[in-house]
Structure 1
Amino acid sequence: MNVSLVLFTADLRLHDHPPLRAALDGARQVVPLFVRDRAVDRAGFAVPNRLAFLADCLRDLDAGLRARGGRLVLRSGDLVEQVCRVAGEAEADEVHLAADGSAHARHREERLRTALEAEGVRLHVHDAVTTAVGPGTVTPASSDHFAVFTPYFGHWSRWRLREPLDAPRTVRVPEGIGSEDLPSRKGLSGLSPALATGGEREGRERVTAWLRSGIGAYEEGHDDLAGDATSRLSPHLHFGTLSPVELVHRARRAGGPGAEAFVRQLAWRDFHRQVLAARPEAASTDYRTKRDRWRTERTAREDVEAWREGRTGYPVVDAAMRQLRHEGWMHNRGRLLTASFLTKTLYVDWRVGARHFLDLLVDGDVANNQLNWQWMAGTGTDSRPNRVLNPVTQAKRYDPDGAYVRRWVPELEHVAASAVHEPWKLPEEERVALGYPEPIVPLPEGLARFRRARERT
């Protein structure tokens, strides 16, 4: 009786899962395996919020498999060793895996292929599982990747996506393959209080609701901080409980300007992956260096702490940082504003901010996180590397009534809309009574420091 093994990684779903479909088509029995890779722990990516969401995802995946007659096998340790061990226990003759363009994943794939081939086991790697269009699928004539989004999006939009696959009806797992107990978020500490729930079932329910009542207003409302009109699907895309291919198809079927804007954001996700796949060093070094002499976490300790804790004295920045800590998630406009403030106004190294985001974001994704930070720091793919987002101007534009600020900065709950974004202009007695900090740096001073630094380089 032939057996295939499916290694789940960042694709924790049953719907539209090419590796699982291929394994089921080629074998009578399948071992669905997830390995808690210790290399991820050692690299510092196993943070509480993502571990909790992962636990939800694994439990939901196991439940979905059990409803189809199967179950999830969970192991911990070195991924290559564990896959080879389980393949041997099950007498599997092939392993199926989703492609991943990160340097870590490619090195893992090379090690796994070598180890499996030594045991006479074939490795099949499937594209377009964690992305709609895989890294390296569309490239310019003169380079191995697109360095600018607009031409990339033009090619990406014309690429014919594969059709989504239905979830399997039946999954038969061989008897006698041992599994560790599934993790739970209950024993984890340090979680954001309002952390979202993970799992494919939750993700698909969110998509259905979003397509029914949210996507139509997305183009006009996605930057509205208080309106919270984004899809909030990023954690599910990060863990692969939703298929990007299926999302693009469903959004295009919905049609309209909102759907087009949403699909564009999915393309940005693929864009960053193809940049990082071609330039893996961009995860920690400047993609396009400006030879900045950034202030470090040590030299700017007080400013960095104020930024992390949401007490910079700039209400919209502080609101976004407090949302991050409370939810493990932040509105996209807030991400841009807080990143601009740290790198351009405080002139602190973008890696300091990127690390803090990865410590808390449930959707903390190396490609999106690092390259978005570089975009705002002016060391990435932005064609205007010296742009600075003024937090006051931005707040008045995207939170005109101050509702977002009041939601997250209770000290300003009763401040009128005319003053909520500039509380330092209130009479001194009122300012003191608020208990809200003064700005840690005047905006003109921060801008001048940044311009001097960039001119010097």
Structure 2
Amino acid sequence: MDVAIVLFTRDLRVRDNPALASACANARAVVPLFVTDPALAVPRNRARFLADSVAVLRQELRELGGDLIIRHGDPVAEAIGIATRVGAQAIVVAGDVTRYAARRRERLDRESARHRIALEVTPGSHAVVTPGDLRPAGGDHYQVFTPYWRAWRAAAWRQPHPAPSAISLPEGIEPGGLPAAVSGCSPALVPGGERAGLDLVRRWLDGPLTGYGDKRDALAADATSRLSAYLRFGCVSPLELASAALDRPGGAEYCRQLAWRDFFHQVTAAFPDMGCADYRPGPRQWNADQDAIDAWRTGHTGIPIVDAGMRQLAQEGFMHNRARMITASFLTRTLGIDWRHGYRHFAELLADGDVANNAGNWQWVAGTGNSTRPGRVLSPLRQAARFDRDGEYVRRYVPELAALTAPHIHTPWQLPETRRRQLHYPNPIIELPVSH
């Protein structure tokens, strides 16, 4: 064909991009297109990370002889409009699992057919194993992780696509301006984009991955990859990452976490309301204590390990996965507050705030999702003693307690009253027995 449009969504890379590879293989000229949709509210941290990623993608495409065409408006209307003007025969877009993506695809289907333009939806951009490729006997998706993990390990992975050697762009298309700069973000938010993501991948694979199995839950060690935002926006290919990691020391344990990511994608593909409705509905009575919700959000619950996690989130737009589980369990199981309050707060601040994984993990902890132990409660004190024994993680993010040593750093309410006042740290909003 002469011309194809590649509609970038959250696959903001040139390496192993099935949509871009397909368009470059089948069309003489390719129009890479990114559209910012005003109907899609993007919180500040993700908007900043997204803006970085789009700017880097434009640079990479220009180095290949092409460009990134940027528009602001309805993605379907903009894609059809440009396709009509340049005489494109096809629009190529990556498949996705959210309700927003499903509606966009339905409209693209309809409008492409009306304008006699072929629509190709490529699988495999956002997951190692495409949602829907693995199905249990008698069901449309896996509801429990362990059998999914076994099927995931046994699955044949596709071969990664190399970056195109060159891209030819039709003449006469105005490139459009980059997304506006974003202010008010978390002060320690990492930069977005494929280049930063690949640099981090190389450092991760060549060093810390080795100790991942032993150190991944140690809060102060910070021994996780921190690649979640790069995976969420497709700056890094999960398939390339898994392929490079699997046979290295620590790789099997790390790939298990990538499989969890795929697991929640296939759950969300089957249950698109994952971010707003209980996956396993049932009679539940949630507490509506707004003061407790506010204390949790700001990291002033008086429970140091919980407050450290919430303050890390505010400072970095990121939270260690073990801290995510602790803070989520505290909100939903200890305080009895609806998981949706936590899900929305995380979605507001996390640079990696992906619907499938954010909602999937919240529902897993709250007992409304895919956990095989829906009544499980994570004691914040036991978690602190196990995963922050010396209190280093708490000292890093709760400076009021920096002078305290273990065990008092995790239970400052046990100190004499005069010492407690000197700390300027709140008393716990709920009583936790030390033996809890």
User: TM-score of the superposition, structure 2-length normalised?
Assistant: 0.98
Cα root mean square deviation, aligned: 1.3
Indicate whether 1:122 and 2:118 are aligned: yes
Deviations 1:203-254 (A, max 9, x none): 000000000001101111110100000000000000000111111110124x
Residue pairs, 1:278-317, within 5 angstroms: 278-296=270-288, 300-317=289-306
Selected match of 1:349 from 329, 333, 338:
338
Matches of 1:49 and 1:379, distance apart in 2: 28
Amino acid in structure 2 at the alignment position of 1:280: P
Superposed displacement of residue 184, structure 1: 4.4
Task: Assess if the C-alpha contact under 8 Å between 1:56 and 1:184 holds in 2.
Answer: no
Moved more, 221-230 or 129-138: 129-138
SS at match of 1:75: strand
SS at match of 1:125: strand
Matches of 1:59 and 1:199, distance apart in 2: 8
Residue pairs, 1:189-204, within 5 angstroms: 189-204=183-198
Selected match of 1:440 from 407, 429, 434:
429
Aligned to 2:162: 166
Aligned to 1:453: none
Aligned to 1:451: none
Indicate whether 1:263 and 2:255 are aligned: yes
Indicate whether 1:326 and 2:315 are aligned: yes
Residue pairs, 1:136-285, within 5 angstroms: 136-185=132-181, 188-253=182-247, 255-256=248-249, 258-285=250-277
Matches of 1:205 and 1:192, distance apart in 2: 22
Superposed displacement of residue 38, structure 1: 2.5
Superposed displacement of residue 175, structure 1: 1.3
SS at match of 1:386: coil
Amino acid in structure 1 at the alignment position of 2:36: R
Task: Assess if the C-alpha contact under 8 Å between 1:21 and 1:168 holds in 2.
Answer: yes
Matches of 1:284 and 1:27, distance apart in 2: 40
Superposed displacement of residue 180, structure 1: 2.3
Matches of 1:330 and 1:282, distance apart in 2: 21
Q: How many residues align?
A: 435
Superposed displacement of residue 397, structure 1: 0.6
Structure 1 residue ranges without an equivalent (≥5) = 448-457
Moved more, 278-287 or 196-205: 278-287
SS at match of 1:283: coil
Superposed displacement of residue 179, structure 1: 3.0
Residue pairs, 1:36-75, within 5 angstroms: 36-41=36-41, 46-75=42-71
Superposed displacement of residue 27, structure 1: 1.2
User: TM-score of the superposition, structure 1-length normalised?
Assistant: 0.93
Moved more, 63-72 or 103-112: 103-112
Superposed displacement of residue 290, structure 1: 3.5
Aligned to 2:34: 34
SS at match of 2:40: helix
Residue pairs, 1:330-409, within 5 angstroms: 330-409=319-398
Matches of 2:325 and 2:398, distance apart in 1: 19
Moved more, 22-31 or 199-208: 22-31
Superposed displacement of residue 444, structure 1: 5.4
Superposed displacement of residue 25, structure 1: 1.1
Matches of 1:47 and 1:21, distance apart in 2: 30
Q: State the identity %.
A: 49
Aligned to 1:108: 104
Amino acid in structure 2 at the alignment position of 1:320: G
SS at match of 2:274: helix
Task: Assess if the C-alpha contact under 8 Å between 2:67 and 2:175 holds in 1.
Answer: no
Amino acid in structure 2 at the alignment position of 1:58: V
Matches of 1:419 and 1:234, distance apart in 2: 33
Task: Assess if the C-alpha contact under 8 Å between 2:274 and 2:355 holds in 1.
Answer: no
SS at match of 1:281: coil
Matches of 1:376 and 1:209, distance apart in 2: 31
Matches of 1:77 and 1:116, distance apart in 2: 17
Matches of 2:382 and 2:22, distance apart in 1: 52
Aligned to 1:418: 407
Aligned to 1:20: 20
Amino acid in structure 1 at the alignment position of 2:256: R
Task: Assess if the C-alpha contact under 8 Å between 2:6 and 2:19 holds in 1.
Answer: yes
Amino acid in structure 1 at the alignment position of 2:405: A
Moved more, 283-292 or 196-205: 283-292
Task: Assess if the C-alpha contact under 8 Å between 1:345 and 1:443 holds in 2.
Answer: no
Matches of 1:150 and 1:399, distance apart in 2: 28
Amino acid in structure 1 at the alignment position of 2:398: V
Aligned to 1:454: none
Aligned to 1:450: none
Deviations 1:183-218 (A, max 9, x none): 243xx2320001110000000000000000011011
User: Which of the pair is proportionally richer in helix?
Assistant: 1
Aligned to 1:79: 75
Aligned to 1:452: none
Structure 2 residue ranges without an equivalent (≥5) = none
Matches of 1:365 and 1:358, distance apart in 2: 8
Amino acid in structure 2 at the alignment position of 1:159: A
Matches of 1:268 and 1:37, distance apart in 2: 29
Indicate whether 1:10 and 2:15 are aligned: no
Matches of 2:20 and 2:274, distance apart in 1: 32
